[in-house]
């Protein structure tokens, strides 16, 4: 009888793994304050640090992997910084901040906290949303409201450090109502930039040398509400904020097409906007921006989730102090005790303004249920099915066990 019960448990486990669709958060890093509404995150090179920005105050918080509570690092309101969206840290420890609706860009010295440079886009409307840093040290920023990509040269104090690097008018990226370009990421060799257009679910490749732009062929699929991006070799990960789903693609050699690999979620996702890789983990921002838009109370405290990367190889664990020759790829590894694995998935949250409801077919990712325009890849129906099946089979096993003992 024990073998029967073990067999049933094994079958349920295999079924759950086969359906997949769920990650399990193993760490939580809290942000102080009841009005933070974070959006961007950056990992400090070779230090185990991470930085998170507040969209309501412009405060930047600093956390350390393995320590549960983050602390204020740059106070909000200073230098005209009242809104922080995307952020990144370069090899020299400089912190680049996208200023959202302020239309500003900030660069700080991560060691002294001093302001190194500040730029204004000069466009109206302007919403500087995300930033990536290329291997040569140049930083590129997206604007969700005006069709432009900005560049800040590696020498941020040079006379012409800031430029409107790409005017997107007449390009394949056609701006419309709502949030347009959002997440941006540079290829490992610096040859390409990849950007996501949130309100269309399209991905685009930008060739840095020529500034030529082409839509990435997703095989008819789309990533509506695409937000933060991460490129690791030929692997591209896209966070869909409203769908609370992390979608993974395999990019072709020329980044001209991408094949869907998997879509995963976590029961603790709460309008996740973006993420940063730290070792074999992803630190995911639970923004709760949908609650801010709806003027409903947030769930406190605001947290950053630490999640495993499926199939990732763990790099060496770094020191907790800065290295004299840091890499641009963070390699710290979280060390908090794991929580029990969960297989339920978070329900998709509504879009936040100014993103309008998804228009067009959008497309659903293969192997996942069709739940409306744009495709919901959250995996919730699968998780519910697995949970129900598990409950039924375990109940049957207990019943059979009791009958066997009575016999």
Give residue-wise pLDDT tens across range 235-267. Answer: 999 999 999 999 999 999 999 999 999 999 999
Going by pLDDT thresholds of 50, 70 and 90, the confidence category of residue 21 is low
Q: For residue 13, which phi and psi values (nearest 5 degrees)?
A: -60, -45
Going by pLDDT thresholds of 50, 70 and 90, the confidence category of residue 366 is very low
Going by pLDDT thresholds of 50, 70 and 90, the confidence category of residue 311 is low
CA 230, 236, 242, 243 torsion: positive or negative? negative
Q: What is the pLDDT of residue 298?
A: 98
Q: What is the pLDDT of residue 25?
A: 66
Q: What is the pLDDT of residue 44?
A: 83
Q: What is the pLDDT of residue 29?
A: 97
What is the average pLDDT across 324-331? 32
Helix (H, G, I), strand (E, B) or coil at 332: coil
Tens digits of residue pLDDT in 53-74: 999 999 999 999 999 999 999 9
Q: What is the pLDDT of residue 172?
A: 98
Question: Where in the chain are the domains?
Answer: 21-378
Q: What is the pLDDT of residue 342?
A: 32
The class of domain 21-378 in CATH terms is mainly beta
Whole-structure pTM value = 0.76
CB neighbours of residue 123 within 10 Å: 16
Flag whether pLDDT at 40 surpasses 50.
yes
Which residues of 201-292 form beta strands (DSSP E)? 202-207, 213-215, 226-232, 235-240, 245-251, 258-264, 272-278, 281-286
Flag whether pLDDT at 116 surpasses 50.
yes
């Amino acid at each position: 009888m024990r073998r029967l019960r073990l067999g049933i448990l094994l079958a349920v486990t295999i079924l759950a793994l086969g359906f997949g669709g769920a990650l399990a958060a193993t760490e939580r890093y809290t942000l102080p304050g009841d009005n933070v509404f974070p959006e961007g995150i950056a990992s400090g090179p070779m230090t185990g640090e991470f930085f998170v920005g507040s969209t309501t105050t412009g405060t930047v918080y600093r956390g350390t992997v393995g320590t549960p509570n983050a602390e204020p690092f740059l106070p909000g309101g200073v230098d005209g910084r009242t809104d922080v969206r995307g952020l990144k840290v370069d090899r020299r420890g400089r912190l680049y901040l996208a200023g959202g609706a302020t239309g500003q860009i900030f660069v700080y010295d991560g060691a002294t906290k001093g302001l190194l440079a500040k730029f204004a886009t000069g466009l109206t409307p302007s919403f500087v949303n995300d930033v990536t840093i290329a291997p040569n040290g140049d930083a590129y920023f997206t604007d969700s409201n005006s069709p432009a990509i900005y560049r800040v040269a590696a020498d941020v104090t040079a006379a012409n450090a800031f430029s409107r690097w790409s005017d997107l008018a007449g390009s394949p990226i056609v701006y419309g109502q709502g949030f347009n370009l959002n997440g941006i990421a540079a290829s490992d060799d610096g040859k390409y930039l990849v950007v996501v257009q949130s309100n269309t679910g399209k991905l685009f490749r930008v060739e840095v040398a020529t500034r030529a732009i082409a839509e990435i062929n997703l095989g008819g699929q789309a990533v509506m509400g695409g937000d933060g991006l991460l490129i690791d070799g030929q692997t591209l990960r896209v966070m869909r904020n409203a769908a609370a789903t992390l979608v993974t693609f395999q990019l072709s050699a020329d980044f001209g097409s991408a094949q869907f690999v998997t879509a995963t979620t976590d029961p603790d996702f709460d309008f996740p906007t973006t993420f940063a890789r730290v070792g074999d983990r992803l630190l995911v921002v639970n923004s709760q921006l949908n609650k801010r838009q709806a003027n409903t109370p947030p769930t406190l405290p605001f947290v950053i989730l630490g999640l495993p990367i499926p199939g990732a190889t763990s790099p060496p664990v770094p020191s907790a102090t800065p290295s004299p020759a840091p890499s641009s790829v963070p390699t710290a590894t979280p060390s908090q005790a794991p929580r029990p694995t969960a297989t339920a998935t978070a329900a998709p949250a509504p879009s936040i303004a100014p993103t309008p409801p998804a228009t067009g077919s959008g497309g659903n990712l293969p192997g996942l249920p069709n739940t409306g325009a744009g495709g919901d890849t959250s995996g919730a129906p699968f998780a519910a099915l697995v949970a129900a099946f598990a409950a039924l089979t375990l109940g049957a096993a207990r019943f059979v066990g009791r009958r066997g003992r009575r016999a």
